[in-house]
Amino acid sequence: DADVTQTPRNRITKTGKRIMLECSQTKGHDRMYWYRQDPGLGLRLIYYSFDVKDINKGEISDGYSVSRQAQAKFSLSLESAIPNQTALYFCATSDMTSGRGYEQFFGPGTRLTVL
């Protein structure tokens, strides 16, 4: 089984709809991240969380919100989706106690299309 899983893997939605992308991990890592990837722009950080009570904005947080429901679960919400949020979304984890400082492990991604 994959260590970092994302659901759904593909989603098509309409402008104005609220959607949630979910991420779960079995790696026991304390830190979790959400990124989006766009052609020509690379990966950009949306939000990150160092533990259940800690949420931080990344480079491009506008239009997004997150919830860290448990150490193993981190969800990303688009309150009112718009077409320029069409992208590939990745969840990642890292473990500060590993001695390999900040090495990040990525999920398989969610391809989101907003019509």
Partner 1 sequence: KQEVTQIPAALSVPEGENLVLNCSFTDSAIYNLQWFRQDPGKGLTSLLLIQSSQREQTSGRLNASLDKSSGRSTLYIAASQPGDSATYLCAVIGAGSYQLTFGKGTKLSVIP
Instruction: Tell me the per-residue interface mask from 61 to 100 with partner 1, x by CB under 8 A, - otherwise.
Output: ---------------------------x-x-x-------x
* Helices of type H across the chain: none
From residue 114, alpha-carbon distances to 3, 13, 45, 87 in Å are: 28, 5, 20, 9
Q: Among residues 43, 52, 55, 60, which is the contact residue for partner 1, using CB under 8 A?
A: 43
| CA–CA dist 93, 34 (Å, integer) | 9
Interface positions with partner 1 (CB under 8 A) = 33, 40-45, 48, 50, 58-59, 88, 90, 92, 100-109, 111
